[in-house]
């Protein structure tokens, strides 16, 4: 279905890339057809500068553009205001979560101008730890022991049942995050469009399988002090409170065509899967 054209873009670039040739090349292509704003201290040929994500609003911006790798896109997903979809352009390494490579821009710009795109929603996690509200997670929330004396017991309460096992940590991931740390820890890869959570044990004393569960509240606790990581960023240290994980408002991403298991195809080499 044809959609309205995109006109005004808010751009966030990974720190350290603002002086690179590829950044200037991407900005030159985008500036030919769109009105641009840059978030933070970065500037480009008189483009409007916004000092924070709070200055991005659905009434003034049609799209947020993330220039960098997966970490940059995760940062944008945490900070982007509701109602403004995100387009990731990979200026980093593998860029599993990003939609485009810089070489894709000429075709993508034409499709944006013609309204030939669609908006995809991705499940996110919300969480509280005691009285503290944690940032929303697009990939995962990871609770890991703070010390390295005895292996603690972690307790997982989901769907009215409580399970306990000794391990180094426990991870709750979204389908988007199934190709991230959860995958490295032995978790399954599931279709990004599903509404489900993955519970992945990390280094259990005895083998404990990963679980795929329906979207519902999950409470994780431990008998030892723990750190909590949200999308790879430390959100709490040395805490003893349980973490209550719930469904957060979804993130919206701009896509050009459906590609099931796109992240898995990027994760593996081209020769490994066809």
pLDDT digits (tens, 9 = 90+) for 189-205: 998 888 999 999 999 99
**Domain end among 50, 82, 116:** 116
Strand partners, 245: 127, 218
Q: Are residues 225 and 171 in the same domain?
A: yes
Q: Is residue 195 part of a domain?
A: yes
For the stretch 146-185, what's the b/e string if a residue is b when 16 or more beta carbons lie within 10 angstroms of its beta carbon? beeeeebebbbbbeeeeeebbbbbbbbbbbbbbbbbbbeb
Query: Domain for residue 237, yes or no?
Result: yes
**Cα–Cα dist 72/90, whole Å:** 9
CA distances from 212 to 146, 182, 242, 274 (A): 26, 12, 21, 26
Which among 93, 116, 139 is the end of a domain?
116
Based on the fold, state whether residues 187 and 106 are members of the same structural domain. no
Choose, from 15, 70, 231, 241, the residue flagged as catalytic: 70
> What pLDDT does residue 2 have?
52
Domain membership flag for residue 79: yes
Query: In this structure, are 83 and 131 located in the same domain?
Result: no
Asked about 70 being catalytic, the answer comes back as: yes
Q: Is 24 among the domain residues?
A: yes
Specify whether 82 is located in the same domain as 104. Answer: yes
End-of-domain residue from the set 92, 116, 140:
116
Contact 220, 154 (CB under 8 A): yes
- pLDDT for res 261: 66
| pLDDT attached to residue 273 | 44
Asked if 133 and 242 sit in the same domain, the reply is yes
Q: Which domain holds residue 30?
A: 8-116
Residue ranges in the chain modelled with pLDDT below 50: 1, 270-274
pLDDT at 243: 97
* pTM above threshold 0.95: no
Judge whether 185 lies within some domain. yes
Alpha-carbon distance 152 to 239, whole Å? 13
Total structural domains within the chain = 2
CATH number for 196: 2.60.200.30
Tell whether 78 and 188 lie within a shared domain. Answer: no
């Amino acid at each position: 279905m044809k959609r309205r054209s995109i006109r005004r873009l808010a751009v966030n670039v990974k720190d350290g890339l603002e002086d690179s040739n590829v950044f200037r090349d991407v900005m030159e292509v985008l500036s030919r057809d769109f009105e641009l704003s840059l978030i933070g201290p970065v500037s480009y040929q008189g483009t409007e500068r916004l000092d924070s994500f709070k200055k991005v609003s659905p009434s003034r911006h049609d799209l947020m553009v993330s220039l960098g790798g997966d970490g940059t896109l995760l940062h944008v997903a945490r900070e982007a205001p509701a109602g403004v979809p995100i387009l990731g352009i990979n200026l980093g390494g593998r860029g599993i979560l990003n939609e485009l490579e810089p070489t894709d821009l000429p075709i993508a710009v034409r499709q944006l101008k013609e309204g030939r795109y669609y908006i995809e929603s991705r499940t996110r996690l919300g969480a509280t730890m005691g009285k503290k509200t944690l940032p929303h997670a697009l990939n995962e929330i990871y609770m890991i022991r703070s010390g390295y004396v005895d292996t603690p017991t972690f307790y997982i309460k989901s769907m009215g049942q409580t399970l306990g096992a000794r391990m180094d940590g426990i991870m709750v991931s979204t389908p988007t995050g199934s190709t991230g740390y959860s995958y490295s820890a032995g978790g399954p890869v599931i279709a990004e469009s599903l509404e489900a959570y993955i519970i992945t044990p990390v280094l259990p004393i005895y083998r404990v399988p990963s679980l795929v569960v329906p979207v519902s509240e999950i409470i994780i606790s431990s008998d030892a002090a723990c750190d909590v990581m949200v999308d790879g960023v430390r959100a709490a240290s040395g805490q003893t409170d349980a973490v209550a994980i719930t469904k957060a408002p979804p993130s919206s991403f701009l896509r050009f065509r459906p590609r099931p298991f796109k992240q898995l195809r990027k994760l593996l080499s081209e020769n490994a899967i066809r």
